[in-house]
């Protein structure tokens, strides 16, 4: 199902659910499609609470772990979090120009996702603009502006590091349709961005007028986040030592209430030179506020445009129901509607939101449904299932050699060894053919 979710058949013991210890109970074979956190957490929960269960996990790539390996940022190994098969399109003129990329492709490029290894983004411009006010947008801004000595200590790919070493980008704007009270990033990521060495934040105090009163009764996380933005916006340039200002040759800033209207081309019509933004006003309050165009526009010069407006789940198979409007598999607590024995978790279950802890809890919820259905006799256990043995026979008959977990361990060892030689945690292999050659396929 891709790194953003898992689909399959089928902390602490769930309420009202006994632990399966009886040797006479049937041994269910569970197939999990997708080896990201959604798949692994569900498998873990089922195995923990059903002593006889057997779980086979299938992954389309030669390496496991989905977004944990290919996720948000190499300098955040503890919170890597994003996934999905596709990205949302902007739907505006010029989005196919050279210099315009989706966040998913750009993140995949610096994290070594094989399909994005040849992206070769042009970083020769001084100003980059990111559409989106989420953690992924902040991650990309941080990678673009981080000092190289910090990135060299991470598992960022060697090719990406070389490209960033030649980057001319020194200014990054993060643009959102709505206002400061609707940003989707979290305070930890914002604070890290504010404290990034060599880069200074540029926030307009006028964007925060009157917000102190507006957030008095807001939930604590939203209140603290907004207070940090206000504090940063009101800080006078002279407050910081002159040495610190001189040591900050790069800058980044937040632009609010602006909606992308058109990516503007260079004279030859081939590359992005800027973007036209429609100014908006907000109708409504809080998370439900909607951005309505005012009729005014603004043009921002930028040679690099990155779209971080969310991700899109693709349908799995015609036999699996899919809600195209919501971009999810219709389900109830992970049970796929109309298909007994089929379950889903992760972003295919709830949509592309949340981080790894969200996915963990979501996966436990789905696993709970599987265990309930096993215990209640809902699933047909009368027929013996061979599991991977049967699948392996089919693959062998077709001349396909799957990559086993022990094969992955060889790839893992090679990457760690290459990384050690370069003073990094690992040097990812980005070419699947090279991975297969390494394990003798």
Question: Are the C-beta atoms of residues 12 and 45 closer than 8 Å to each other?
Answer: no
pLDDT tier at 25 (50, 70, 90 boundaries)?
A: low
Say if residue 185's pLDDT is above 80. yes
pLDDT tier at 26 (50, 70, 90 boundaries)?
A: low
Percentage of the chain exceeding pLDDT 70: 85
Q: Are residues 106 and 202 in the same domain?
A: yes
Query: What is the average per-residue pLDDT within 37-54?
Result: 91
Q: Are residues 168 and 301 in the same domain?
A: yes
Q: Looking at the domain assignment, is residue 231 inside a domain?
A: yes
Lowest mean pLDDT among 100-114, 285-299, 316-330: 316-330
Residue that terminates a domain, selected from 264, 279, 311: 311
Instruction: Give me the pLDDT at residue 416, please.
Output: 93
- What is the reported pTM? 0.76
For 31, 54, 254, 384, 404, the CA distances from 388, given in Å and listed in that order, are 8, 10, 50, 13, 11
Q: Looking at the domain assignment, is residue 154 inside a domain?
A: yes
Q: Are residues 252 and 325 in the same domain?
A: no
Q: Looking at the domain assignment, is residue 381 inside a domain?
A: yes
Q: Are residues 120 and 190 in the same domain?
A: yes
Q: Are residues 141 and 201 in the same domain?
A: yes
pLDDT tier at 17 (50, 70, 90 boundaries)?
A: very low
Q: Looking at the domain assignment, is residue 21 inside a domain?
A: yes
Q: Work out the burial of residue 345: count CB atoms within 10 Å of its CB; fewer than 13 is exposed, 13-18 middle, 19 or more buried.
A: buried
Q: Are residues 185 and 286 in the same domain?
A: yes
- Start-to-end CA span in the chain (Å): 24
Residue that terminates a domain, selected from 257, 291, 311: 311
Q: Looking at the domain assignment, is residue 276 inside a domain?
A: yes
Query: What is the average per-residue pLDDT within 352-372?
Result: 87
pLDDT tier at 194 (50, 70, 90 boundaries)?
A: very high
pLDDT tier at 247 (50, 70, 90 boundaries)?
A: low
Q: Are residues 112 and 207 in the same domain?
A: yes
Q: Are residues 223 and 298 in the same domain?
A: yes
CATH number, position 103:
3.50.50.60
Query: What is the average per-residue pLDDT within 232-244?
Result: 65
Give the total number of structural domains in the chain: 2
Instruction: Give me the pLDDT at residue 24, please.
Output: 53
Q: Looking at the domain assignment, is residue 76 inside a domain?
A: no
Residue that terminates a domain, selected from 311, 339, 355: 311
Instruction: Give me the pLDDT at residue 57, please.
Output: 92
Q: Looking at the domain assignment, is residue 142 inside a domain?
A: yes
Q: Are residues 151 and 40 in the same domain?
A: no
Sheet strands (E) in 138-249: 171-175, 199-202
* Domain span including residue 156: 86-311
CATH number, position 393:
3.40.50.720
Q: What is the pLDDT of residues 79-121, one digit of tens each?
A: 447 344 455 678 899 999 999 999 989 999 999 999 999 999 9
Query: What is the average per-residue pLDDT within 226-242?
Result: 77
Q: Are residues 285 and 398 in the same domain?
A: no
Say if residue 190's pLDDT is above 90. yes
Question: Are the C-beta atoms of residues 287 and 133 closer than 8 Å to each other?
Answer: no
Q: Looking at the domain assignment, is residue 171 inside a domain?
A: yes
Instruction: Give me the pLDDT at residue 58, please.
Output: 92
Q: What is the DSSP letter of 334?
A: T
Helix, strand or coil, per DSSP, at residue 239: helix
Say if residue 21's pLDDT is above 70. no
Give the separation between CA 97 and CA 427, rounded to whole angstroms: 31
Query: What is the average per-residue pLDDT within 200-222?
Result: 92
Instruction: Give me the pLDDT at residue 11, please.
Output: 36
Instruction: Give me the pLDDT at residue 12, please.
Output: 37
Q: Are residues 226 and 351 in the same domain?
A: no
The residue ranking higher by pLDDT, 71 or 141, is: 141
Q: Are residues 211 and 159 in the same domain?
A: yes
- Phi, psi values for residue 42, rounded to 5°: -70, -45
Lowest mean pLDDT among 60-69, 76-85, 428-437: 76-85
């Amino acid at each position: 199902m891709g790194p953003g979710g898992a689909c399959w058949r089928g902390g602490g013991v769930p309420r009202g659910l006994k632990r399966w210890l009886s040797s006479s109970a049937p041994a269910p074979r569970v197939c999990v499609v997708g080896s990201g956190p959604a798949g692994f957490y569900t498998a873990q929960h089922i195995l923990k609470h059903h002593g006889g269960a057997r779980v086979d996990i299938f992954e389309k790539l030669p390496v496991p772990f989905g977004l944990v390996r290919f996720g948000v940022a190499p300098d955040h190994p503890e919170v890597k979090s994003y996934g999905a098969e596709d990205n949302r399109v902007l739907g505006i003129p010029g989005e196919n120009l050279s210099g315009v990329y989706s966040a998913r492709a750009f993140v995949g490029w610096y994290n070594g996702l094989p399909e994005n290894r040849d992206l070769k983004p042009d970083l020769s411009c001084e100003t980059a603009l990111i559409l989106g006010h989420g953690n992924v947008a902040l991650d990309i801004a941080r990678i673009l502006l981080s000092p190289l000595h910090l990135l060299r200590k991470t598992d960022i790919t060697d090719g990406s590091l070389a490209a960033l070493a030649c980057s001319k980008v020194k200014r990054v704007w993060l643009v959102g349709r709505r206002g400061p009270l609707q940003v989707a990033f979290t305070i930890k990521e914002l604070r890290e961005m504010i404290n990034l060495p060599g880069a200074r934040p540029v926030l307009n105090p006028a964007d925060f007028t009157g917000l102190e009163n507006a957030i008095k009764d807001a939930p604590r996380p939203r209140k603290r986040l907004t207070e940090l933005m206000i504090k940063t916006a009101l800080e006078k340039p002279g407050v910081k030592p002159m040495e610190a200002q001189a040591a900050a040759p790069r800058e980044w800033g937040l632009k609010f209430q602006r909606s992308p209207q058109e990516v503007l081309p260079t004279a030859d019509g081939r590359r992005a030179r800027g973007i036209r933004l429609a100014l908006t006003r907000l109708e409504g309050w809080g998370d439900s506020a909607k951005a309505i165009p005012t009729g005014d526009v603004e043009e921002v010069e930028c040679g690099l445009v990155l779209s971080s407006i969310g991700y899109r789940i693709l349908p799995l198979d015609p036999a699996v129901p899919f809600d195209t409007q919501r971009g999810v598999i219709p389900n109830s607590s992970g049970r796929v509607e109309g298909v007994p024995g089929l379950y889903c978790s992760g972003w295919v279950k709830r949509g592309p939101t949340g981080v790894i802890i969200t996915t963990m809890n979501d996966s436990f919820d789905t696993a709970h449904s599987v265990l309930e259905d096993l215990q209640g006799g809902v699933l047909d256990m009368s027929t013996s299932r061979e599991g991977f043995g049967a699948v392996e026979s089919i693959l062998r008959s077709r001349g396909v050699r799957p990559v086993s977990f022990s094969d992955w361990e060889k790839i893992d060892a090679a990457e760690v060894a290459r990384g050690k030689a370069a003073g990094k945690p690992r040097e990812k292999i980005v070419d699947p053919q090279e991975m297969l050659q390494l394990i003798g396929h």
